Structure 1
């Protein structure tokens, strides 16, 4: 298995799920993160809580380094856990992955560049690996895929010199009429982000609320782009995973729903949020 860079991996067990839920899926956890459209008070709070955000990230890193053989196999990432979490760069560990690595059934090889030769692939250092089949698990470029579906006039409107595609609520471009883009926003659970977007779009199409002016939509979408650019080095992707509750709050305001979905203030701050909290 050839890879260019290491990523913090998510163990598929209840212990790590609980850690993630209570450290990264609560309102209190999002108070530590500078968010778009948050206002002065929340900006001060997020600045004050920055050391706590750093400490939580280090705690999770230590937990993963202790519970997984990342150092043994050269899989310790250069970025912090929070940076990769905020950019949706946390792959789940396949079943029995490290056992297969230890047994030699999977061989790991880190290299920045590689290419093909007639019998397989050649690595950056000149090593050759013979292979009958090469599977390119490289993902895809969502922006290029989206632009390839549009006419040239719309393609030009989507281009942004500062990087990223500015979409209002992650769904609508202010200058392209009759077009909504579902699933462009990413989160740790893409289903969660897409479901909230689908509800927002369904209410818009049914006339339950109207869009603000083009100028306001431009301003808001640009603020979200700036957040993505500043929050993580992987700003090529539109990831809202670290502030999914905040995104859902904006959707709730548009729909006329109460964004506070818990029973009391303590649960509102410290209980994990999930898609089940937004049931009609």
Structure 2
């Protein structure tokens, strides 16, 4: 396995018996995230007061996984903090017994900033002095640059830059789906999340309700204000150049916006404790069709 930059990987998603979802993706956890779009001064101040608690939770969680996963032993310690990895959609789950297989030698990790092909496999590092690795099959699990994919839809240079945003506006789509200046086109899946599948389904439901006439888009100025607020949030809480914005740390907040647009109650849990302490998932939105 060739790795250019180690990602933050966890084993099982539990910290001392508590799921990561409860720690970072419940309403209570989102309450500690400041500067959510449209949250108002009172909630911003409350989030700032609670930020030391969020910092403590992330540091304890990071220490827990550092102690339980031999990433330091194998040179796989990420460059970024656990908090950044969560908010920037850079958190993954290790395959079962992954580091056991590394220890026994059936999985071999190689770190290399550059990779090229040669006649019988790969060259890791500079082509003249790099390590050669024989390979029958190479799987390129490198992801893709979502912004380039979105820009590639358009021939017009103006639309190319408009639709995918940039450093000053990393989240250019209203409700992460429609550009205020190109309302005839909807985009599903440009924004990322820790569990993207049901987020994309919610986007699709929102677009379906829009096309069915359940609600109408607001004016361009109002949409652009919302876009600007989400852009500021993304810049504060983690964005990776060339990829779509990550909304993990405020995904329930985002789904609340979609529910209100579609005419559904955003509070989907049974009971106040469940509403605040349990993470949201696909089953909570099953009644929206």
TM-score (norm 2): 0.89
Aligned-residue offset at 1:57 = 0.8
Aligned-residue offset at 1:13 = 6.2
| 1-structure distance, mates of 2:153, 2:181 | 17
Cα deviation, 1:140-181, whole Å, max 9, x if unaligned, reads: 111111221233253243253425350000000111132100
Select the structure that is richer in strand.
2
Q: Pairwise mapping of residues 109-188 of structure 1 onto structure 2 (< 5 A)?
A: 109-124=110-125, 126-152=130-156, 154-161=159-166, 162=168, 164-188=170-194
- Give 3-state SS (helix, strand or coil) of 1:121's partner: strand
Aligned-residue offset at 1:51 = 1.1
The answer to whether structure 1 residue 226 and structure 2 residue 227 are counterparts is no
TM-score (norm 1): 0.91
| 2-structure distance, mates of 1:15, 1:65 | 11
| 1-structure distance, mates of 2:236, 2:13 | 31
The answer to whether structure 1 residue 269 and structure 2 residue 273 are counterparts is no
2:256 to 249, 252, 272: 249
- Give 3-state SS (helix, strand or coil) of 1:226's partner: helix
Aligned-residue offset at 1:15 = 6.4
Aligned-residue offset at 1:21 = 2.1
Aligned-residue offset at 1:88 = 1.1
Query: 1:17/1:32 Cα in 2 relative to 1: closer, same or farther (>3 Å)?
Result: same
Q: CA RMSD in A?
A: 2.1
- Give 3-state SS (helix, strand or coil) of 2:133's partner: strand
Q: Which moves more between the two structures, 181-190 or 10-19?
A: 10-19
- Give 3-state SS (helix, strand or coil) of 1:49's partner: helix
Match of 2:46 in 1: 45
Aligned-residue offset at 1:233 = 5.1
- Give 3-state SS (helix, strand or coil) of 1:115's partner: strand
Aligned-residue offset at 1:113 = 2.4
Aligned-residue offset at 1:248 = 0.8
CA contact 2:171–2:234 (8 Å) conserved in 1: no
The answer to whether structure 1 residue 202 and structure 2 residue 208 are counterparts is yes
1:258 to 257, 265, 269: 265
| 2-structure distance, mates of 1:205, 1:16 | 46
Match of 1:79 in 2: 80
| 2-structure distance, mates of 1:205, 1:228 | 28
Aligned-residue offset at 1:273 = 2.0
In the alignment of these two chains, the number of paired residues is 280
| 1-structure distance, mates of 2:239, 2:204 | 28
Gaps of 5+ in 1: none
